[in-house]
Each structure stands twice: as structure tokens, then as C-alpha cells.
Amino acid sequence: MITTICLNPCFDKTVSVDRLQPGQVNRIREARVDLGGKGINVAVVAKRLGLEVQCLGIMGENGAAELTALMDREELSHRFMTVPGHVRTNMKVYSLDGQGVTELNEPGTPLNESSLAEFTRIAEEETAGSDMVVLTGSLPPGCPEGTYRDLLKALDGKKCILDTEGKELELAAKGAHPFLIKPNLREMEATLGIELRTMRAIRDAALLFVRLGVQHSVVSMGAMGAMYISADKTLFAPALRVETKSTVGAGDAMIGGMLLGYEIEKDMAKAFRYGIAAGAASVMTEGTQLIVRSDFDALLDQVRIQEV
């Protein structure tokens, strides 16, 4: 069993316009609403890849029934606490003239100390039979500094994957030693406050976290590919050449793919290949639709891994 944790779920609303014009009336051509929140995304990908997975989290009462219905539609096992407030909506605006995507993300329902304490108790209980636990995504207002570190400590003994940035990543790496971290290049740069221009610089940056006790690190770099770094190995995978329809959720899909790879290979360096295929499959889908299993299967043999 794999458990993912999502403390800040959302509805992902994707709209397309001919040309985004700030300060003007923009006519929407198409719109769709999908499940959102990185922990939910990882769980959906893992489920679509055939893994036994559950998702735990907290969500606002207003919108809870609708979000639950979407998880049920995915046949996703879940347990979410509800708190006063509403499920946030994140808007992705696609400009069809090639300007790219503009994201408008709500902060989420504020949490207090008692809610976090209750959720921690639930997480300890519900992960008793889990081999892997994934903690990922933004934290809602009210979460104290070190929230992810404290959750990791409460889940001591589990192989935990952490996908976050900044102070939360630093504190968790120092105080709780995640099994794997998966920042993207921008997040790694923002966390360390430096620009990383070369593969050597990216490797050295990841090794800073390995020396703090992180066992494995994967840094995704978009069109430049991705790197895997551990104490004794550095691997590089070029990006696969696929038609890119949306990069939203690609990092979450990568984690889902690595979960499958680790289930099969029992080795995270070998699982890296599965993550590359899943991330590439994700960008082939429009909006926030995540992954189609047949796309992943077709891409897996195309992945090329180089030792650095």
C-alpha cells in the first residue's frame, strides 16, 4: 500500500482563450474542472498505473462533496478531514496564441494547531500498512514552519517521499531525512538562493541534501530532462520528444511513475526511468488530465539513462 498526503486540495479549472489580454474582457473558448492538489495528483497517477494507493488530507466543508465525488470517479481510496471553509479553486488560463499558461491559485482553507494534530493522528493510523508515503504540495495558511518535518517525524520508519521547496524542504531534510526529495530546478534554486547553470552545479546542490540525510534526490528540469542523485550515483535522463499539451502535473506524474518503478525494481535508481516516462506521458494530455496508461507504456522503452 502507498499513501499520499494532500493538505491543500483544490479544483483545477482549466480555461482557454484566443489571446489573454490583461485588463480586458476575455472570452473563454473551452473550460473543464479536474481534481487538484499535488498529493491527489500523485495518487491518481499511481492508481492509473495499477498500484494500490490511498490519499489522506484535509479539505474545507464547502465543496467537499464535489471533490469527494471526483475522487470516487477515479476509484481512489481516500480519507479527508473536513474543516470550516471551502475547497480552493486554482485557475489555469491557456492563451491559444502561444503566450503560455497563466495560473491563478487560491491559498486554501486556513488550518489551526488542533486540526493538524488530529490529522497527524489519522495519518499515523492510516499509514500503518503503507510501505511508502508521499508528502507533497503547498501548505494552506495557518501551518507553522516545519509542518512537513513534523509529519515526517510522526511517520518515522516509513519510506517518505517529499516534494516541496524553501524552508519546508530545508527543515525536513535536516530534521526528518526523507527517503526521496523531488524538487524541480526552479524550486531547488529558490531553496538555496543560487542559480544552477550546469549539471555539475545541480548535482552538487542535490548532494547538499544527501549529506543532511536524504537518501535519494530527483531534480526535474523540464525540457532539459532530469537528474537522479544519491551518495554514490548520479544519473541524467534527457527529456523525451513528445507533443507537449500541458506541463501541469508533470512532476506529480513523475513521482507516480517512480512509485511503480520502485514497486517493480526495488531500486530507486532503476525506478528513475519509470518516472521519466510518466512525466513525459503527462505532458501529452491537455489541461490537468495527468496521464494515460497506454502513453506511459509506449514511452518507457524510449527512456535513455546516462551515468554522470
Residuewise pLDDT in 10s, the chain (308 residues) = 999 999 999 999 989 999 999 999 999 999 989 889 999 999 999 999 999 999 999 999 999 999 999 999 999 999 999 999 999 999 989 899 888 889 999 999 999 999 999 999 999 999 999 989 999 999 999 999 999 999 999 998 899 999 999 999 999 999 999 999 999 999 999 999 999 999 999 999 999 999 999 999 999 998 899 999 999 999 999 999 887 776 777 889 999 999 999 999 999 999 999 999 999 998 887 655 688 899 999 999 999 999 98
Cell of 32: 473543464
Residue 288 has a pLDDT of 58
β-strand partners of 16: 30, 94
- 97 catalytic, yes or no? no
| Single-letter residue type at 85 | G
Rounded to whole angstroms, the Cα distance separating 307 from 269 reads: 11
The CA-atom distances, in angstroms, between 61 and each of 39, 68, 105, 142, 203 are 19, 11, 19, 17, 43
Give the domain 2-307 fold: UDP-N-acetylmuramoyl-L-alanine:D-glutamate ligase (3.40.1190)
Residue among 97, 252, 267, 301 flagged as catalytic: 252
CA torsion 65-70-75-81 (nearest 10°) is: -40
Residue 245 has a pLDDT of 73
What single-letter DSSP state applies at residue 224? G
Neighbours of 223 (CB within 10 A): 10
Residue 242 has a pLDDT of 85
Rounded to whole angstroms, the Cα distance separating 205 from 194 reads: 9
**153 alpha-carbon distance from chain centroid:** 20
